[in-house]
Amino acid sequence: MRRLAGALALASLTLAPAMAVAEPAPPPASLEGMVGPALYVTDPARSLKFYTEGLGMRLRMRFGTAERPDMVVGFGTNPADAGIMLITDKQGPIQPIQHVHGFDRIALRLPDLVAVSARLRAAGFAAGEIRTVHGSIQMMMITDPDGYRIELIDSKPAARKP
């Protein structure tokens, strides 16, 4: 029995270096906020009109050349809040947008879909049908001028039907 205990003690000493103790993981980086998606656009002026006049966003920043500007739009004026970057090809002819499997849509929550629908139509854009889904959520699907799908979700729940 003593031999077995001694052999186990010796084995534990010789195996100890091979069994390294894992260092604690560094703390995760904290998220300070989301900038938002960057969407290639083919006609910056038309896209700006859609997002500002149609959806009610504000132009927060414009940069790049006058011929091919990049812009950031969002709700409110705080540049730290999430927005959508509208960007263009910088060299060569502006390419048509090719939508592929993977990106599906941007979902935005905002009040009063009826007003948003009217604003989109007044700005010359199509507005989808406002539907009630999941019992009390009002939503509408729209497509921006470059074919990006956007799901608009009303921030006020609809009255539940009895």
Q: Which amino acid would we find at residue 106? A: I
Percent of the chain with pLDDT over 70: 84
In whole angstroms, what is the distance from residue 82 CA to residue 36 CA? 5
> Which stretch of 25-34, 56-65, 66-75, 94-103 has the lowest confidence by average pLDDT?
25-34
CATH number for the domain spanning 145: value is: 3.10.180.10
Looking at the 3D structure of the chain, how many domains does it have?
A: 1
Residue 161 lies inside a defined structural domain of this protein? no
Mean pLDDT of 122-151: 94
Helix or strand holding residue 86 (H, E): strand 84-87
Query: In this structure, is residue 68 part of a structural domain?
Result: yes
pLDDT in tens, 75-128: 988 888 899 999 998 888 888 888 888 889 999 999 999 999 999 999 999 999
Q: Determine contact, residues 150/142, Cβ cutoff 8 Å.
A: yes
Segments forming the whole domain that contains residue 51: 38-89+104-154
What pLDDT, on a 0 to 100 scale, did the predictor assign at position 16?
A: 47
Compute the average pLDDT of residues 155-161.
Answer: 72
